[in-house]
Amino acid sequence: MSVLVGLIGKPNVGKTTFFVAATMKEAEIADYPFTTIKPNIGIAYLKVECVCREFGVRDSPRNSFCIEGRRMIPVKLVDIAGLVEGASEGRGKGNKFLDDVRQADALIHVVDASGSTDSEGRHTEPGSWDPLKDVEMVEREFDLWLASIVMKDWEKIARVSELDGKLAENLAQKLTGLSIGKGQVEQAVEKLGLGKRYTWWSRDDILMLARELRIISKPSLVVANKCDISTAENNITRLKEKGYKVVPCSAEAELLLRKAANAGLIEYEPGSNHFKIKDESKLSRTQLEALKMVEERVLKKYGSTGVQDAINASYFDLLGSVVVFPVEDEKKLTDSKGNVLPDAYVMKRGSTALDLANAVHTELAKNFLYAVDVRRGMRLGADYILKNRDVLKIVSA
Ligand SMILES: Nc1nc2c(ncn2[C@@H]2O[C@H](COP(=O)(O)OP(=O)(O)O)[C@@H](O)[C@H]2O)c(=O)[nH]1
Ligand SMILES: [Mg+2]
């Protein structure tokens, strides 16, 4: 199953703006990898340094595209319904939220770092609301919800597990719908160290367990959005000091830049710290001013709009994903049709050469003999752990 990253947060922080900006169509992709997609699921792009320049070839990508040596690889992003206090008891769109969040492997938690929206997402004076409270609220609601799921059958699970000693297995069975596996439950239980008399565990213990499960199974980062508003700066520092992984962001700036680029008014590459106006005479004064503002308040100050950084960070930092380039001909770096470096695969942390074979084609995995590290001309076994930017040929019988 492919990986899914979800956008969460209270209402009006900019989740949808981020989603629209990140999933805006940039180019036609020949080999569209996702067939049916729900309306709130879109395609964003992971940006990595392509291997084309290193090998000195002109590539002809199929499942991705390459802009001047940067490979853009489609990944899935889901815009999850806004969350308010009490969501774990069904308040607001609580149930919808929790339904969506199940499928996510990692979470981008969007906050209004400028502090101009209150607990419910209503507009207030910039700087008057503390976004740290929002992060805590969302985490608490998530934990309460997860705890309530565990609590439902806890008595039985605890009793059975005391007898058969298989708590992780019994609990994981209850949590499969949430993309939480046995290994992750084991890890959480171990971390808590509450002992094996499960029937003695209190409600608070279960809440702690839910918290650990969240941290392990839904790694997350904080997107400090609306950084174009000056009151955001101090809150970004405070969020970082609290120990969160923080990406300063202006989703609105990214949206503006992508729209201008699509309209042919500017040259802009997502994730970049600059843009180039193509023909100033084609821009209205308002447009020019808006672009100037993005340059001054966002790009110069923070180095980028943060949208691309957040997508990359969620895959590489949170999930430890790697991007690999499978080829059939190790000399020409082509597939059977002569496309150069046709595909870039995003693989989960710890994936092996055999996993890659499986991702390419199940037949390839069934008859797997060995893989070749094209860069070094070395043979690799089925259990070789993939590294980022590996170029591999898979040889099968
Ligand atoms: N200043 C500023 N406003 C933003 C930014 N991103 C979103 N907004 C505004 O915040 C409001 C809510 O945005 P929306 O994406 O609908 O939020 P959601 O409810 O979290 O999906 C809209 O008026 C947006 O224009 C940003 O980066 N900077
Ligand atoms: Mg929205």
Q: By residue range, what is the domain housing residue 281?
A: 251-304
Cα(250) to centroid(ligand 1), Å: 9
Residue 299 in tokens? 């790009």
Residue 53: inside a domain: no
The phi and psi torsions of 292 (rounded to 5 degrees) equal -60, -40
pLDDT at 36: 41
3-state secondary structure of 58: coil
Residues 24, 26: Cα–Cα separation, whole Å: 6
Ligand 1 centroid – CA 226 distance (Å): 7
The answer as to whether 395 is a domain residue is: no
83 lines ligand 1 (CB under 6 A): no
Q: Over its length of 397 residues, how does the chain's per-residue pLDDT go in tens digits?
A: 478 999 999 999 999 999 999 998 654 443 444 434 566 889 999 999 999 999 999 999 999 999 999 999 999 999 988 888 887 787 776 677 777 888 889 999 999 999 999 988 999 999 999 999 999 999 999 899 899 989 999 999 999 999 999 999 999 998 878 878 899 999 999 999 988 899 999 999 999 999 999 999 999 999 999 999 999 999 999 999 999 999 999 999 999 999 999 999 999 999 999 999 999 999 999 999 999 999 999 999 999 999 999 999 999 999 999 999 999 999 999 999 999 999 999 999 999 999 999 999 999 999 999 999 999 999 999 999 999 999 999 999 9
Q: Which of 375, 383, 332, 318 is nearest to 354 (CA)?
A: 383
Q: How far is the CA of 223 from the centre of ligand 2 (A)?
A: 15
Residue 306: its pLDDT value, please? 98
326 ligand 1 Cβ < 6 A = no
Q: How far is the CA of 261 from the centre of ligand 1 (A)?
A: 20
Among the listed residues 85, 107, 104, the one whose alpha carbon sits nearest the alpha carbon of residue 94: 85
pLDDT of residue 185: 93
pLDDT, residue 103, reads 84
Place of tokens 């980022």: 388
Near ion ligand 2, which residues have CB within 5 Å? 15-16
Place of tokens 């059975």: 160
The answer to whether residue 256 sits within a structural domain is: yes
Question: Does residue 228's CB lie within 6 angstroms of at least one atom of ligand 1?
Answer: yes
Q: Tell me the residue length of the chain.
A: 397
- Tell how far the Cα of 338 is from the centroid of ligand 1, in angstroms: 45
Q: Which residues of 236-270 are buried (b: 16+ CB within 10 A; e: fewer)?
A: bebbeeeebbbbbbbbbbbbbbbebbeeebbebbb
Q: Containing H/E element for 293?
A: helix 285-293
The region that residue 107 occupies, defined by phi over 0 for left and psi between -120 and 50 for alpha, beta otherwise, is beta
Token reading at 71: 């490979």
Does residue 260 belong to any structural domain of this protein? Answer: yes
Residue among 13, 17, 138, 231 whose CB has most ligand 1 atoms within 8 A, to mutate: 17
Asked whether residue 109 is domain-assigned, the answer is no
* Ligand 1 binding pocket includes 229 (Cβ within 6 Å): yes
Residue 341: count other Cβ atoms within 10 Å of its Cβ. 26
Domain count, the chain: 1
How many other β-carbons are positioned within 10 Å of the β-carbon of residue 12?
Answer: 17
Q: Would you state the pLDDT for residue 94?
A: 64
Residue 372 lies in a domain: no
Structure-block tokens of residue 109: 């938690």
In a domain, 295, yes or no: yes
Atom of ligand 1 nearest to the CA of 253: 27
Nearest Cα to 220, choosing from 118, 143, 329? 143
Residue 92 lies inside a defined structural domain of this protein? no
Q: Which ligand has the minimum distance to the alpha carbon of residue 249?
A: 1
Mutate to test the pocket of ligand 1, among 7, 8, 12, 250 (most ligand atoms within 8 A of CB): 12
CA of 179 to the centre of ligand 2 (A): 24
Q: Give the DSSP letter string of 343-374.
A: --EEE-TT-BHHHHHHHH-HHHHHTEEEEEET
Q: Output the pLDDT for position 27.
A: 43
Q: Is the CB of 187 under 6 A from ligand 1?
A: no
Report the nearest-CA residue for atom 26 of ligand 1. Answer: 226
Atom of ligand 1 nearest to the CA of 18: 15
- pTM for the predicted model, two decimal places: 0.92
| Residue bearing the CA closest to ligand 1, atom 24 | 14
Burial 128-145 (b: 16+ CB within 10 A, else e): ebebbebbebbbebbbbb
Ligand 1, residue 249: give the atom nearest the CA: 27
Q: Residue 73 C-alpha to ligand 2 middle, in angstroms?
A: 25
